[in-house]
Amino acid sequence: MLNPFKQLGDVNQLRKQMMELQKKLKEEKIEIEEDGVRIVVSGELKILEFENKGASDNTVKDKLNKAIKSSQEVAAHKVSSMTGGLQGLLGK
């Protein structure tokens, strides 16, 4: 028989892990500086800094997408590090 109180403890532990992950992502900064464009994005995908030194709109879009993709990769890596907690909660 499953112990519902143990499951509540597991959920609480997972919640704490997610809050810690969110804090770490907020502190993460990804910087792209190429072709006259400088972009700094947080791990939460927020643009912290943006500078365009005469680059075309297409170049700016490309660099912005690159910065966002890099930020997503950092977040995915951090989430995968807590997979053990999710697997334990799901009984895998």
Mean per-residue pLDDT pooled into runs of 10, the chain (92 residues): 63 82 87 95 91 95 94 86 57 50
Beta bridge partners, 37, equal 34, 52
Count structural domains, the chain.
1
Model confidence, pTM: 0.68
**CATH number for 62:** 3.30.1310.10
Structural domain boundaries, residue 24: 4-90
Location of structure tokens 């597991």:
10
Q: Which residues contact 89 (CB under 8 A, 6 or more apart)?
A: 7, 10, 11, 13, 14
Q: 72, 50, 71: which is closest to 61 by C-alpha?
A: 50
